[in-house]
Amino acid sequence: MPTSSRSTNLYTVEQVRRIDQAAIREGGLPGTELMQRAATAAFAALRRIWPQARTLTVIAGSGNNGGDAFLLARLAREAQWQVQLVALGERSGGDAAAARDAWIREGGRITVADMQTRLPDADVLVDGLFGTGIARAPEGVAAHLIEAMNAFRGGRLALDVPSGLDADNGTAPGPVLRADATVSFVGWKRGLFTADGVDCCGQLELDLLGIPDPVCAGIGPDCELLEAGFANVLPPRIRNVNKGRFGHVLIIGGDIGMPGSVRLAGEAALRVGAGLVSIATRAQHIGAVVGDRPELMAMAADGPQSTEAMLARASVLAVGPGLGQGAWGHALWDKALRAGLPLVLDADGLNLLARQPLPLPATTVLTPHPGEAARLLGCDTAAIQADRFAAARALASRYACVVVLKGAGSLVAAADGRIALCPFGNPGMASAGMGDVLTGVVAGLLAQGLGAWDAACLGTLVHARAGDRAAGPRPRGMIASDLFEALRDVVNGSPS
Ligand SMILES: NC(=O)C1=CN([C@@H]2O[C@H](COP(=O)(O)OP(=O)(O)OC[C@H]3O[C@@H](n4cnc5c(N)ncnc54)[C@H](OP(=O)(O)O)[C@@H]3O)[C@@H](O)[C@H]2O)[C@@H](O)CC1
Ligand SMILES: Nc1ncnc2c1ncn2[C@@H]1O[C@H](COP(=O)(O)OP(=O)(O)O)[C@@H](O)[C@H]1O
Ligand SMILES: [K+]
């Protein structure tokens, strides 16, 4: 579903390097020219974001990110700003050496940082310490500089990548800059949008440095951003229809003590437009499920016959919310997976799959959080978070289906290696039942005829946008059922 455009393409660091090299080799743009363009773009952004600023503290590392910083410092001084420059190390390499020389030649002073260095006060700080070339966790003076930048009292602008962030994976193995704004160059690095990346970048801007599209042809992207506009992928409804056209979702789960999970998934499916929604759960939960949402149907899943009858009426299954992993849940899970219907598998549905890998129906979406993903891949959660892109791809390939790896910067992966990243959502969504709502949303979209990839992309997007709309400026204390009204707005494309 995502459509290709350079502003929605996400690249690995390696791919961005290849674009840089292609621009230099085939595009007739020397590295020094790219660096000058990067500095010009970043200084323009700085003036736009902090229009009152006139004093600058610039931190320059020894690589090309530092080169960008030296050139930005020159531009600011030419514009009559007061600029102080702190460098890591006595020398710079590659194109950055010329940028450093030019700064010195024109009378610029450099403070070479040590463990005692205190950063001069200024309106804004520019972080040109490390960009895509970070090779290991910052230690010693580099770590000291990052901590000092984080304690800086003015605005913080990161050049290309907040220093300390691994721009490939969004991980921070050591101290990392928390920027107010990041101006990234050439192409978006995928790690800016997931895991720790989402907390480090602040406001994000991209400057392509005038590298023309043909230069990038054949290089990536690795992944695409889901855009708000994709919410229009569902066709408008013609008037002469009935509920039978929009599918019948059967939600299976809700073992003893967990009726809420299926109730949430069920209403979510209705709120994105499923025609009919039934819940297969424990007999004692039926009252709780339909009590305050009478549009839901609920049936006791208390034996093979009742389960078969329910499966026969459904067009899409959502299996796992509150299912448990006991005999009751396992028997339902086993029957459901063998039905061959389009399927969303979540929560204990995934945990059971990790224990007993059954073949999955052709249209299947798995929606693991990192803990469930770790169980499915036989590793720990830290290993999943260390490379979310690889984990999502490995799951999609191992289970030959579409996977939504949840969490800040949710990823949707297909078995052919395609990935889409959702840049929406907020920490208010770290709350019980939010995943159950996503399960219902994806099932409700499958029921309306979308394929697994489209339903997973649109479902992840609609869920996150609804979360943002429901949270507004008050994410703390948001609960899963707060999303229902917003789901209805977002899926109908209502402006926020
Ligand atoms: N022409 C182009 O291609 C363009 C590139 N552009 C810019 O270049 C940036 C990439 O530049 P880059 O590749 O030179 O890497 P960069 O991020 O400066 O870091 C490398 C330096 O850091 C050092 N170092 C690494 N880790 C460290 C650690 N933990 N602790 C201490 N030191 C550490 C490393 O030292 P070494 O590992 O070799 O000891 C080396 O000296 C990119 O993000 C963008 O801003 C733009 O101008 C557009 C055009
Ligand atoms: N910090 C966050 N930023 C964005 N989205 C989040 C964040 N925390 C949680 N979410 C989203 O909320 C949902 C939580 O799902 P899950 O962890 O399965 O919760 P539960 O099991 O309680 O239902 C996922 O869709 C996830 O992507
Ligand atoms: K930087």
Q: pLDDT tens digit string along 207-245?
A: 999 999 999 999 999 999 998 777 677 888 999 999 999
The answer to whether 179 and 127 have CB atoms below 8 angstroms apart is yes
What is the strand order of the sheet 155-159 is part of?
A: 111-112, 82-87, 55-60, 124-128, 155-159, 181-185, 203-207
Residues 228-491: name the CATH superfamily.
Ribokinase (3.40.1190.20)
CATH 3.40.50.10260 region(s) of the chain?
9-222
Q: Name the helix (H) or strand (E) containing 345.
A: strand 343-345
Q: Name the helix (H) or strand (E) containing 385.
A: helix 381-386
What spacing in Å lies between the alpha carbon of 323 and ligand 1's midpoint? Answer: 49
> Does the beta carbon of 433 sit less than 6 angstroms from any atom of ligand 2?
yes
The answer to whether 195 and 409 have CB atoms below 8 angstroms apart is yes
> Does the beta carbon of 268 sit less than 6 angstroms from any atom of ligand 2?
no
CA-CA distance, 483 to 496, in Å (whole number)? 14
- Taking the CA of 14 as reference, the closest ligand is 1
Per-residue confidence at 1, pLDDT binned at 50, 70, 90? low
pLDDT digits (tens, 9 = 90+) for 413-449: 999 999 999 999 999 999 999 999 999 999 999 999 9
Q: Name the helix (H) or strand (E) containing 47.
A: helix 31-49
| Section 450-473 average pLDDT | 97
Ligand 1 is surrounded, with C-beta below 6 A, by 20, 31, 34-35, 38, 61-68, 93, 95, 130-136, 138, 142, 159-161, 185-186
Least confident of 95-104, 142-151, 233-242, 388-397: 233-242
The answer to whether 224 and 420 have CB atoms below 8 angstroms apart is yes
Pair type for strands 343-345 and 364-366: parallel
Least confident of 137-151, 299-313, 384-398: 299-313
Total residue count of the chain as it appears in this document: 496
- Taking the CA of 408 as reference, the closest ligand is 2
User: What confidence score (pLDDT) does residue 469 get?
Assistant: 97
| ipTM field | 0.94
Per-residue confidence at 161, pLDDT binned at 50, 70, 90? very high
Q: What percent of the chain has pLDDT over 90?
A: 93
Residue 435 annotated as binding site: yes
User: What confidence score (pLDDT) does residue 343 get?
Assistant: 98
Beta bridge partners, 404, equal: 412
Q: Is the pLDDT assigned to residue 304 strictly greater than 80?
A: no
CATH architecture of 9-222: 3-Layer(aba) Sandwich (3.40)
> Does the beta carbon of 9 sit less than 6 angstroms from any atom of ligand 2?
no
User: What confidence score (pLDDT) does residue 434 get?
Assistant: 98
| Section 139-160 average pLDDT | 98
Per-residue confidence at 297, pLDDT binned at 50, 70, 90? very high
Least confident of 2-6, 9-13, 324-328: 2-6
Q: Which two tokens stand for residue 428?
A: 């208010």
User: What confidence score (pLDDT) does residue 493 get?
Assistant: 87
CATH 3.40.1190.20 region(s) of the chain?
228-491
Residue 468 annotated as binding site: no
Q: Is the pLDDT assigned to residue 2 strictly greater than 60?
A: no
For residue 116, give every residue at least 6 positions away whose Cβ sits within 8 Å of its Cβ, in sequence order, or none. Answer: none
Per-residue confidence at 4, pLDDT binned at 50, 70, 90? low
User: What confidence score (pLDDT) does residue 232 get?
Assistant: 73
The answer to whether 249 and 274 have CB atoms below 8 angstroms apart is yes
How many CB atoms are closer than 10 A to CB 259? Answer: 23
User: Average pLDDT of the chain?
Assistant: 96
The answer to whether 349 and 376 have CB atoms below 8 angstroms apart is no
Residue 131 annotated as binding site: yes
Q: Is the pLDDT assigned to residue 280 strictly greater than 80?
A: yes
What spacing in Å lies between the alpha carbon of 422 and ligand 3's midpoint? Answer: 24
Q: Which of 469, 438, 434, 468 is nearest to 455 (CA)?
A: 438
Q: Is the pLDDT assigned to residue 106 strictly greater than 80?
A: yes
